[in-house]
Chains A and B, each alone.
Chain A
């Protein structure tokens, strides 16, 4: 068995309601969905976030879009308008979840999602006045 960060096989999006953050991860195909369904348990996600998530983590499945949804209670430092955190709405918690490494079959070891190419952004920035 090899280890792979969820980043290489899943998309993600997080949102807030009160002091609850929900993080959904989206597998790229059915086989990957079966794998994350087996490996990415609520307990594992709770442990991954440590002291950042004070309450329970509940997992829901959406097999129609190959997704898992983690509802994390007590995850936002008291909730958006109450939290002292800069990221008081947990916008970055999706990215934090896909840092989690899971066990994968050996033949998956080299899997890697493409990395961003932002040459277009650099070209825009280089052309700005004052640069």
Chain B
């Protein structure tokens, strides 16, 4: 590609005129927009906001069903409200997948936010084409995989219910195209998380589309930054209690050189920690084969990277190797599975575990007697093995747990049935033999059921998706 960045005023933030600074300002829908101020104060060229976990599109799909103007992550205006003044000054650009299932509506919201701040002249780009919902039958026929389930190998016609959304993980190319067209803010739907970060590296450093080592380097940078606090001391199994000011955990910044060498760091005036241990914990997060990390842009060998702790909350990452990308995108297709309900009750000593098990059985029998069909039951005993399952230490009869919470969860075909099941727990407060049953706050069993979704991952040929990818840029007037 070899794209030269256009002449455009900069805020003097670039470290040495060539190194670019990229920040990971969001790790999921619901993360805190308060991260933005600290990152912008530090000076970053790109603020990347990653808003879409696997199941986020399901939430956004329900939003759009209620209101056609929805379907993007609703906190986008909060993030942009914090970031756009710096964008308007020319120092920073924003790249986000907050468009979710409706990037066009997200762009409207971005334009409204800019206008409300009096920031005309900003250029908002939208990337479309990841949404393959309307083309599923055609793609199932035309694509090499037939949209078979990636894990189980089941054929696409075995999809258990109508799809609710279907989207392919696009790569960095359309984001690079938007930047070439002078975008200040780029809003996408589903793209590979790391592509949000790789795109500015390609654009600024002019990396070629087949410069696999460079593309792997940018992908690794993205991988290390996309989960916000997780590379700077969050979700950390090392000496987590020594992380400074953990209530003020900053979000990460990468300084990326033209050759792909990068330094992972954080805003100086904040808590958190960047060292070899916090960074390597993120290297394998949600990775399968680390020697062949598949993304739309490149196959990266994360085991070839060298990490050097430079001290002062700086870790250098270099030497990562890449090889040619595959001809397919990964797609996620979601379908309805049923309705879930849950109830929680607590028991005190003595014999809390036995009381909880007996109550679970009494509850299940009452539900059966009420004629409420349940397709799947789950009983968790909190304080015993709810999280550890078979890995947890068995209860020693001489040292009973001081208290146990029973969490019952169930799946039903019908939403109303799922709600009625929970009500069968309520009378047990007085009418179950085990002594000392108490509700957990307001969670005795009256909660509203939630919809369960199945995820159907499949591969789809890039050649069938790419012709539908569109980049549009609109100026705020």
Contacts and interface: CB of A to CB of B under 8 A. Distances in A.
Interface of A: 11-13, 15-20, 22, 24, 26, 48-52, 58, 60-65, 67, 69, 71, 73, 77-82, 84-87, 91-92, 94-100, 114, 116-118, 120
B285 interface: yes
Given A71-B288, A78-B454, A26 B304 contact: no
Nearest to B230: A13
Contacts of B349: none
Interface in B292-316: 302-307
B386 interface: yes
B452 A82 contact: yes
B202 to A, nearest CB: 25
Interface residues of B, number: 54
B281 interface: yes
A52 B390 contact: yes
A48 B390 CA distance: 7
A94 B391 CA distance: 11
Interface centre among A17, A50, A98 (most CB of B within 10 A): A17
A114 B239 CA distance: 8
A51 B151 contact: no
30 contacts: A13-B235, A13-B281, A16-B54, A18-B151, A22-B284, A24-B284, A26-B237, A26-B280, A48-B390, A49-B390, A49-B391, A51-B389, A64-B305, A64-B306, A65-B307, A67-B284, A69-B287, A77-B378, A78-B337, A81-B54, A81-B55, A81-B334, A81-B452, A82-B337, A82-B455, A87-B387, A91-B235, A99-B392, A116-B241, A120-B241
Given A13-B281, A26-B277, A99-B388, 8 more contacts: A11-B237, A11-B238, A13-B284, A18-B455, A84-B340, A84-B342, A92-B388, A95-B387
Tell me if A's interface is mostly helix, strand, loop or mixed.
Answer: mixed
Contacts of A95: 237, 387
A89 to B, nearest CB: 9
Contacts of B289: 60, 71
A26 B276 CA distance: 11
B391 A118 contact: no
B9 to A, nearest CB: 40
Interface in B406-432: 407, 409-411
Interface in B49-66: 53-55, 58
Contacts of B305: 64
Closest 10 CB pairs of A and B: A50-B390, A15-B286, A24-B284, A84-B409, A52-B389, A65-B280, A84-B378, A81-B453, A81-B55, A116-B241
Interface string B377-389: 0101000001111
B291 interface: yes
Contact of A11 (B54, B277, B391, B407): B277
Interface in B268-290: 277, 280-290
A52 B391 contact: yes
A60 B302 CA distance: 12
Contacts, number: 151
Nearest to B305: A64
Interface of B: 53-55, 58, 151, 235, 237-241, 277, 280-291, 302-307, 334, 337, 340, 342, 376, 378, 380, 386-393, 407, 409-411, 452-455, 457
A84 B411 contact: yes
A18 B391 contact: no
Contacts of A48: 390-391
A27 to B, nearest CB: 10
A17 B286 contact: yes
B388 A96 contact: yes
A46 to B, nearest CB: 11
Nearest to A19: B151
Nearest to A116: B241
A24 B287 CA distance: 9
Contacts of B282: 13
Contacts of A116: 239-241
B423 to A, nearest CB: 18
Contacts of A78: 337, 454
